Amino acid sequence: MEIVMVVTVLAIMLLLAFFRASITSWVLAVMVIVPVIAIQQRFSDDVLMVVGSILFVYIVFFGIPFTRRIVVSGTALKIFRKILPQISATEQEAIEAGTVWWDGELFSGNPDWNKLLALPKPSLSSEEQAFLDNEVEQLCAMLDDWDITHKRADLPPEVWQFIRDKGFFGMIIPKRYGGLEFSAQAHSAVISKISSRSGTAAVTVMVPNSLGPAELLLHYGTNEQKEEYLHRLAQGKEVPCFALTGPLAGSDAGAIPDYGIVCYGEYAGQQNVLGVRLTWEKRYITLAPVATLLGLAFKLYDPNHLLGGEPNRGITLALVPTGIHGVQNGRRHFPLNSAFLNGPTQGKDVFIPMNFIIGGTSRVGQGWRMLMECLAAGRSISLPASSMGGMKLATRTSGAYCRVRKQFKTPIGKFEGVEESLARIGAHTYMIDAARQLTALAVDLGEKPSVVSAIIKYHSTERCRIVINDAMDVHGGKGICLGPDNYLGRFYQQMPVAITVEGANILTRTLMIFGQGAIRSHPYVLKEIAATHDHDHNRALHQFDDALFGHISFALSNAARSLVFGLTAGHGIHTPDGIETRRYFQQMTRFSAAFALSADIAMAALGGSLKRREKISARLGDVLSQLYLCSATLKRFENDGRPAEDLPLLHWALQDALHKIQQAFEGVIQNFPNALVRGLLSVLIFPLGRCLSPPSDRLGHQIATLLMQPGEARDRLTAGIYIPDDEQDAVGSLEAALASTLANEPLLAELEEARKAGKLTELEELPRISEAREKGIISAEQALLLERDYRLRRKVIMVDDFAAEELRAGY
């Protein structure tokens, strides 16, 4: 009887937790369960008195909101205020910047997958598609990356002019100011296509449309500033750049030493103009060497109280025409043989009027928040798009090269070692392109997804590095010899640039993804923090009480759900329709609950020290990241109409991600500093042990096969890149060689059989083709096809060589 009662009580508690019961429901349950137990056990009067007293206290302290707020929540609020780690002003602004989007669902422990699938399918307008098919296509055809990177170290003048004339600098600027007013999806597609041809051109187009003067003016500029500058920016009459990073403030951009002093000065011949005297030293600023309009971040001081208020006014943003006396720019950095224009800029006692401050005096001191909000949108588009251009190029060329190039009379892509690399190349490209499209869609829906933008920036650049490395491996000598016929070498050289900019990847992974997400995306933490900072005691107490007990219910629910889903391996969880994807949705729901639980336990057990436990934070961020990438991949598969040909890519990408989630959880558990917590997490998340495996060799073989032959799946995977039809072009010849190889292999096999039979005696391939034609083994038309096939294959496998003086001329 006792065992049945214990099991019953535990089952009731588990159900209450599983379905996220409110504190009132818990109180009512205790009010029923305790008397029943007391009656069943026939306790003595003394025991009943003790039990009744405990029950009374419990009901008073937890069941009555007024006393609960005063005794329980009030005490907890005081403790929270003491132990809550100090958050700097810049950290607070970074946390509050942007919006919570799908990351909030993943933090909930119970994502609404129908909500994800109901999002509109990413698409382009007819005008945007026409721009891609015409202006972008023309631009790509004008680009010779070897000439740009090795000979000129710059874009040709005619390319610069084309970019200006066709409005490439004004993609994000509304039409009323002369811009193109493209969607984020179109912006991303343009950058991705250009990047597949030239990284230099892509960056040149990307920067004016990312974080910089145009975007800042659109969101925060005064009407006068918009009218003065946006028309000129859209027409390419102004070349913009934005200067934030300096020698003493890189990742810690909030520590910038650059400053401005509010004072009166002379400007444009006028005396006693109220303005700012600026001094700065910045570096790594793209387009700074040729910029005519400099966006500048600095700390503003008003020692004479000319603006009123405090003397230390905080980070402020201004527009500085580079023609003003005292502005120094023009020198260049040389980032890993990249030819995009990047360099330092300095200024000493440069005076500007107050109306040069972006947004005017009402925006003084709001610079950091402005930057964080714009960065959330810009980082969602530019770097993922440029990375995707390189990944798709590597995917398409690696598959073709591995089919055309033969060793031991076998295409090298059929060797299992090469298949491993091709599988990673294809699956990573499939997943990251899905995330690129989904994140751009979020921006088009009006979101400024700060946490999601950190996820996509980190993983698009990291996966791009993996893909380019694998592509270099399978290309072998073809990849390492630079020259006009090398389409991978510059991407390989320049990958660390993307890894470093807009938040270095180490910092992004260890501090930003989970560190920001745990506060920003969690359903209760930000509310609890806000309550601790509220000086209105009564309001703070009510808000904190609601958040605290909502948080407790949330944590208990995720603990119960994590345990149940761990015991069932996620079976039984309701998912959207789709036999191919059902188990993935179930596993992701299971891991979402486990992630929410782990985040709460880590924050509760480690408190403020979690900020310094970067490895644990990074692993929890890995879980959140993989859940987002899986979400995007499943959404893409649905958007594409669930094509069966894409299933190997879907399965490999998702199985790899889920296995990485398992590994990340294992890393959190093994390295958690508290043994009791380690045991608790292990039981709740993996009650039956670790059971997920990485993708199989069979899946890898299927992807490799998919990449090495023309087809709809290969075209979908690499859609949107520039593919020249010129057989003298390195990529164009490879495309032609792949088609020719597949078409002419039977004929070549006939020639080989004839050689073995002694009918052909020539040792080299071209003379043998002529001999076969002369002897009537093949027709004249077939001979022409084989001769073209030979030329194409030879062009594909040959590498560039130079006279010594040619190489010296490029350095």
User: Which of the residues are catalytic?
Assistant: 502
d(CA 569, CA 688): 9
**H or E stretch covering 162:** helix 157-165
Whole-angstrom distance, CA of residue 704 vs CA of residue 399: 7
- From the number of C-beta atoms within 10 Å of its C-beta (0-12, 13-18, 19+), residue 792 rates as buried
Angle at 684 between CA 681 and CA 687, to 5 degrees: 110
- Of the CA atoms within 13 Å of residue 544, those in its CB half-sphere come to 27
CA angle 658, 663, 665 (to 5 degrees): 95
Q: Which residues contact 667 (CB under 8 A, 6 or more apart)?
A: 615, 619
Residue 182 to residue 170: CA distance in whole angstroms: 9
Euclidean distance between CA atoms 686 and 672, whole angstroms: 15
The token duo for 107 is 């933090």
**Residues whose CB is less than 8 angstroms from the CB of residue 71 and which lie 6 or more positions away in sequence, other chains included:** 61
Angle at 702 between CA 701 and CA 707, to 5 degrees: 100
Single-letter residue type at 664: A
Q: Tell me how far apart the alpha carbons of residues 279 and 260 are, in angstroms, rounded to a whole number.
A: 6
Amino acid identity for residue 339 in this structure = A
Q: Please give the Cα distance from 339 to 149 (Å, whole number).
A: 5
Q: CB neighbours (10 Å) of residue 101?
A: 23
Beta bridge partners of 321: 293
What is the Cα–Cα distance from 77 to 82, expressed in whole angstroms?
A: 9
Contact by Cβ (8 Å): 466, 171: no
Rounded to an integer, what distance in angstroms lies between the CA atom of residue 318 and that of residue 442? 29
CA pair distance 216, 221, nearest whole angstrom: 7
In whole angstroms, give the CA distance from residue 453 to residue 268.
42
Q: Which of 807, 92, 195, 763 is closest to 468 using CA atoms?
A: 195
